[in-house]
Amino acid sequence: MRYRLGPPLITATEIQARIQELATIISSDYADRDLLLICVLKGGAMFWADLCRALHIPCQSDFVAMESYREATSPLAEPRFTKAADVALADRDILIVEDIIDTGHTSARLRELLWAQSPRSLAMCALLDKAERRQVDTAIEYCGFIIPNAFVVGYGLDYAQQYRHLAYIAVLEGVLED
């Protein structure tokens, strides 16, 4: 099947404006707390970087990596975790920074993994929520945008490691979702 990049679904300007809004809310909610951002690599890296710079409070960061898609356009049945956090999570206020919540399997598994390390609090900040594909309930305390059931790329999201560099989010047309 051939794929074609569709027009922007969410523009770079819209993304940056929403990040500023989220940063203001998060900064207020976590004022005077020991905030640790856990960025989910690779897709969440651009969102994490812009969110960090927009926060009005001090915070620390660490990274986790997992494989959810490989070369496919639909999520794997069981996400594969490839890197755990390097810092102690006990008694920390943790905010997971994720690019997209799709079926919910990856975020639910990540929450389970992190809760096992006894943080004080654990919340999710996702740039995108593909709510109509949800198979597992998972809370998204800070959500950027709710999007339709389409395969999207750009601003960190990829297809076969392509399109991450785009400053906006677009639908990759010709991709069939399961």
165: Cα separation from own chain's centroid: 16
Instruction: Evaluate whether residue 74 is within a structural domain.
Output: no
Residue 135 is predicted with a pLDDT of 92
Q: What is the pLDDT of residue 119?
A: 97
Q: For residue 100, what are the domain limits?
A: 13-65+84-149
**Structural domain tally of the chain?**
1
Rg of the chain over Cα atoms, rounded to whole angstroms, equals 16
Is residue 174 assigned to a domain?
Answer: no
- Cα(144)–Cα(128) distance, integer angstroms: 6
Residue at 50 is within a domain? yes
Q: Is residue 4 part of a domain?
A: no
The reply to whether 102 belongs to the active site is: yes
Candidates 34, 91, 99, 102; catalytic one: 102
In a domain, 29, yes or no: yes
38 assigned to some structural domain: yes
Q: Report yes or no on 45 lying in a domain.
A: yes
For residue range 29-49, list pLDDT tens digits in order: 999 998 999 999 999 999 999
CATH number at residue 101: 3.40.50.2020
Query: Does a structural domain hold residue 73?
Result: no
Rounded CA separation 62/60 (Å): 7
Extract the residue ranges of the chain whose pLDDT is less than 70. 1, 68-81, 175-178
User: What is the model's pTM?
Assistant: 0.90
3-state secondary structure 31-46: CCCCEEEEEEECCCHH
Pair type for strands 142-146 and 152-153 = unpaired
Per-residue HEC secondary structure of the chain comes to CCCEEEEEEECHHHHHHHHHHHHHHHHHHCCCCCEEEEEEECCCHHHHHHHHHHCCCCCEEEEEEEECCCCCCCCCCCCEEEECCCCCCCCCEEEEEEEEECCCHHHHHHHHHHHCCCCCEEEEEEEEECHHHCCCCCCCCEEEEECCCCCEEECCECECCECCCCCCEEEEECCCCC
